[in-house]
Each structure stands twice: as C-alpha cells, then as structure tokens.
Structure 1
Amino acid sequence: MVRRVWIAFIALVVTLIVGTAGLMVTEHLSLARAIYLTVQTVTTVGFGDIEPQTDAGHIFLIFMMLSGVGVMLYFAGLLMAFLIEGQLAGVYWRRKMNKKIQQVQDHVIVCGAGRVGRQVVYRLRKEGAQCVVIEQKEDLANELIEEGFLVINSDATHDETLIMASIEKAKGLISALPEDALNVFVTLTAKGLNPNIQVVARMDHPESEKKLLRAGADKVISPATLSGWRMAMSMLKPISVEYLETVIHDHNIEIEMVELKIDEGSCLIGETLLTSGIKQQTGAMVLAILRGDQVISNPSAGDQLSQGDLLIVLGLRDQLHRLEKLAANLSNCKT
C-alpha cells in the first residue's frame, strides 16, 4: 500500500509539472498563473478567473482534465484508504521497531516462525535471551509482534534483511525455515556477513546435514530425529522421560543446565572439584568438563580445573547464581 501511495503521489507531481509547462508554452502564462490554473483543473475547482485564449490551450486543458483529474482522484482514494485502514500507524510502529532492532546487541536472530521457530523464540524468551525474528508470512509476523517480539516481516535469505536484523552485532542465528535449501542459503549468507556468528540450522532430510555443515553451520538439528528419539524413550523408559519433562517444563521447578567458563583470575583455577567447594557451597552438580577438544564426562572429585575450561553444570537457579559468584569472586581466593 505504501508503495502504491508513493507511486500515485509521484504521478500527481509529474502531472502538475507537465500541466504547468504546457500552459506556459500554449498560453504564455507566468509560472505562478500556470501552476494556479493546473491545480484548478486537476482539483476540479474551476473558478473560471483564468480562461485559455488559444485553441492549443483548450485542447491541452481537455487532456489535463481527463488525465490529471483521474490521477488526483486515484491518489486521494489511496490516501484515504491508507489512513482509514490504519496503515499510517503501522508504518509508525514498524519504524519504532526497526529503531529498537538497530539498538540490540548480543542477540539471537531466529529465521522462520513456523511450528519449530515459534517454540524456539518462546524458549529464548523464557531464558531471558534477546531475539529478533525474521518471518516472511505477514500473519505469523503480526501474531509475534502482538506478543511483544521484535519481528522483521521479510525474506531471511536476503542480505539486507539480515543486515536490518543487526547481524553484525548478533551472537547467534537459528535458521528454522521449512526447507533445507533455504536453511543452507541463510547459513551461507549469515556467515558471509558475520564470520564469527554461531549458526544453528534445522534440517529435515539426513543428506542435508553435510551441506549445512559445509555452509558454515555450527550445529545441525533434526526435529524429526529428536521427536522420534523422545517417542521411543517414552515407550521404553517412561519414568525417566517423565522426570526429564517435569524438570524441563514444570515452571515450579527451576532446575537448569548452564555453561560456566573459567576465566583468568577465577578462584576455581588449580582447584579440584573436591577442593573447589562447588558442591559443598552451591549444591550444583558438574556433569562434564570441556577442555579444548576433550570432553570429560562425569568428572571425578580429583579432576583439576584449569583456565579456559567450560563446565556443564546442573542445578537450581539460585544454586547456579551462587556458583557464578564463586567462580568470579576474587576476594574468596585462597592465598
């Protein structure tokens, strides 16, 4: 609609310019009088205080009446529809949203808000992560806007769309589009615009995994594989799966799994899991230690922690908060 209004406005301006120039040539009027008579004609006011004196002027004004009045009515109709339908307000809110998107940083871009993408953005919101959604279908985009998400109603495969989503400042991108080829294209485009961005891509067909990894995806997820595994485990180990579902989905239980990196200066450097006090002081449980390419699963109490280690920790929310303070608090370091 906005584009149509602009086209009609440009056509009206061109009509006024042509009409003014034509009257100046045929009737030898001054610029001001030519503009005045042109506006009179296209607006159908017709005061009659200026009359054409030549046949050429009469003929020219006939064409002006037939074409100019039509352009003027078309523009007025579009403008009224634009205002009545509330699209002016929509433009205002889109500009406001675009300003907010330009200001975000360290956010996650989610491409596609279908069945998979919508669950992704809901989970990101629950975890307190800032996200920007790119969805091409207008109805889906409007639904998420009403729910308070930052949404760009456009095609995620276009460079300008990802740039509009501030991809240069984003920490990650999740491509949840319904076709593997589109996810490959988005991954290639995202890595080209921001080589350091972490990309998680959806795949439907197993043969697409290698293509997505070659395109630069850091992780490839198959919703069908995960759903199949969960259904099978629900049949074979129903109690275990029910417990996991309770932990994950029950809002009254705040058990979470986090990644904690041991940075330079941390009190945990050089300590073993036993002497670090992680279990004793926080109650959190270290499930694994990632050290470069090495993964130490179910570490023992004697495993020593080093700078740069990434701890996979499970615990209640307040336990994890205490662990973060323990890892960063220099005043508690042993001397």
Structure 2
Amino acid sequence: MRVPPILFPTRQLHPLRSIARRIGLSVGILVLVAMVTWTGRHGYRDADGGPLSLLDAFYYASVTVTTTGYGDITPISPTARAVTAFVVTPARVVFLILLVGTTLELLTERFRQALAESRWRKRVRGHTIVAGYGTKGRGAVDTLLASGTLVEDVVVIDVSAAAVEEARNAGFTAILGDATRTPVLQLARVEQADAVVVTCHRDDTATLVTLTARELNGDVTIVAAVREAENAHLLRQSGAATVIVSAEAAGRLLGLATDQPRAVAVLEDLLIAGQGLRLVERAAREDEVGGPPLPGEGLLPIAVVREGARISFDSPAYRRVQAGDVVISIGSE
C-alpha cells in the first residue's frame, strides 16, 4: 500500500489554484491571438490558397504562440506583419513565460517538499504524535503548547483531509493516513517519539493504534482516550500508560455541576490550558524524604505517587516521602 506523504505547515496559495490561474492566462493569450488573426484574416495566406477560417485562426494562434511554426499560414500584408511583430510576438513571449513558470513551479514545489521532508527526518526526535485531530486531539495539543511544547515538536495523524489541513494551517506537521498502520506511524518517526496521544473516535481504533505504537517503540509514553469505561482495560493492556474515559468524565462533571457548580469551575480552570489553575508534578527532593512534601513557590502539594500508586494528602503515607516519589502540586498559571 502507498505510504502517505508528510504534509508540512503552509500558508501559501494552493499550487493547483496557482496553476489553474496560469492555464487560464495561457488560454486567454491563445484566444487573443486567434481573434486578432481572424480580424485581419485577409492579410494572411494559407498554403492551400483558400481563405482563413476561424478554425485556421485558432490553428495559427496555437502553432505561433508555442513556437511550432509550420509556415503553412503566413502574414503577407504590412498590417498583418506589424500585428505579428508588435502583438503576436509579445503574446508568444508571455505564453512561454507562463509555460516555463508553471513547469518550474511544479518542480520547485516537489523539490521543496522533498527537501523539507529530508531535513525533518534528520532532526525529528523527542516529539509528540497526536493520532486524531478532532475536539479531543485539538484540546490535547493546546495543553501541550501551553505547557511549553514547541509547535515543531508535534506531529498530527488523521484520516480526514480537512483535519490534516486544519493542523497544517495551525503550523503542525501532519500526515494524512491511518495511525493503525505500521508504515504511517513509522513515517511519523514513532521510534524517536517521546509520547503518543491517541484521541480516535472509536475505542477499537484507539486500541489498534496503541498496540501498533507500543510494538514499534517499547519505551514511548502512550496516553489514550476512550468513550466507554469498559474498554479502558483494553487500552492499558495494549500499552497505554494513562487512559482517560471521556464520556464518563463528562458525565461526572455534569452531575457534580448540579450540586457543586463552584467546584466544577475550579476543575474547569485545571482543564483549560493557559489560564486559571494548573497541576505540576516533580520528583521528591532530598530535604523532603522522611517528611511531608513541602510547598514550592506558588505550588501546593496535594498528592504523592509512589511506584505508580497515588497517595492522597489525608493518608499517613503522604507525610513520609520516600526517595523516588513524585509530588503532585496545584498552582496558578
């Protein structure tokens, strides 16, 4: 199967639109020369001795502007020769410029694409792959950017041409293809990636993407979103380090908002990147070992993660930090 190309960010005029404009101008020049010839047809001589028809005028225009010049139709009157010298010849030059310019533009675009892809392949590493650029994917990308991830360190994969074009317009490198396929993930350089974010519309698709990514890179961090809680364990068994149940989480927020709307407002601050509150994780410091985690500048510890298990602030184990623990704090943007 054909591997899709890597599409890099662009804000230029679409090449097909530019080529269509050139073709339109070329056709206009052809029609102009034909009409000029038809208007002064009595000043031209055909090799068969007959009068020039409208078809003959278009034939003469086509062989003239393309510099084919068979010589079977020639200007014989001074007026026709003047028109050929001062109208047809400049039109021929413009036509050739358009023809050569279109060819060069096609070749230049292909060369630019190949050069950009070659350079990207050499430098890309430690990047984040986002499989699915829908609502969840865009939200994940916004959070990544707000946390300091560079635009050039994000690669988007989606099966929708519209989504890929939207990602390109936003400045991201994008691949139009199916992230469940090994060649597509290899094209995104999953072997050199630091993280893979799976935000597919279907849970079975998310599972296949996770399995494929884990097979290609055993060390990459994979986070995935699923719609149904009953499928979360499948993602974890497939290799996802973190699984977010999107439908269930939204339902809990809706239920909480009916009774505790201000608490939900605080949660919204945590969820919206770049504003309000934020969560920060860090390694436990040496001066904290044996005691509780210490507040930092603008940060309030609320939990400790020890060997993958979360320890909340009301647990006795929270007050005895161990080496290797991860401290979770809450702060403001």
TM-score by length of 2: 0.61
Q: CA deviation at 1:268?
A: 2.6
In 2, distance between residues paired with 1:196 and 1:219? 14
**Does 1:119 pair with 2:139?**
yes
The aligned counterpart of 2:332 is 316
Q: Which residue of 1 aligns with 2:310?
A: 295
Q: Does 1:147 align with 2:170?
A: yes
Moved more, 86-95 or 159-168: 86-95
Q: What is residue 34 of structure 2 aligned with on the other side?
A: none
- Conserved in 1, the CA contact under 8 Å of 2:269 and 2:275? no
Partner of 1:256: 278
Backbone CA RMSD of aligned residues = 3.6
CA distance in 1, matches of 2:270, 2:241: 27
Distance 1:288 1:195, change over 3 A: same
Structure 1 counterpart of 2:268: 245
1-side partners of 2:158 and 2:170: how far apart?
14
| Residue 272 (structure 1) aligned to one of 282, 291, 308 | 291
- 1:282 is paired with a residue whose SS is coil
Give the distance between the partners of 1:198 and 1:250, measured in 2 at CA.
21
Unaligned runs of 5+ in 1: 4-42, 48-78, 318-335
Q: Which amino acid aligns with 1:270?
A: V
2:328 paired with 1:304: no
Which secondary structure state, in structure 2, belongs to the residue aligned with residue 268 of structure 1?
A: helix
| Aligned residue pairs, count | 239
Alpha carbons of 1:82 and 1:127: their partners in 2 closer, same or farther (altered >3 Å)?
A: farther
1:250–1:305 Cα change, 3 Å: closer
Look up the match of 2:120. Answer: 100
CA apart distance, 1:199: 1.6
Matched, 1:193 2:208: no
Distance (whole Å) between structure 1 residues aligned to residue 216 and residue 273 of structure 2: 39
Aligned residue type for 2:119? K
Change (3 A) 1:296 1:207: closer
Deviations 1:7-36 (CA, angstroms, capped at 9, x unpaired): xxxxxxxxxxxxxxxxxxxxxxxxxxxxxx
CA distance in 1, matches of 2:303, 2:321: 11
Distance 2:189 2:304 in 1: 33
Of 195, 198, 218 in structure 2, the residue corresponding to residue 172 of structure 1 is 195
Q: Distance in 2 between matches of 1:232 and 1:241?
A: 10
Q: 1:293-330: CA deviations, max 9, x gaps? A: 4432116798233221110111235xxxxxxxxxxxxx
Which structure has the higher relative contact order (CA within 8 Å, separation 6+)? 2
**Aligned equivalent of 1:6:** none
What is the alpha-carbon distance in structure 1 between the residues aligned to residue 316 and residue 267 of structure 2?
A: 24
1:286 corresponds to: 301
Residues 101 and 132 in structure 1, CA contact (< 8 A), matched pair in contact too: no
Percent identity reads 27
Q: Which sections of structure 2, spanning at least 5 residues, go unmatched?
A: 6-65, 71-99
Deviation at 1:252, TM superposition (A): 5.3
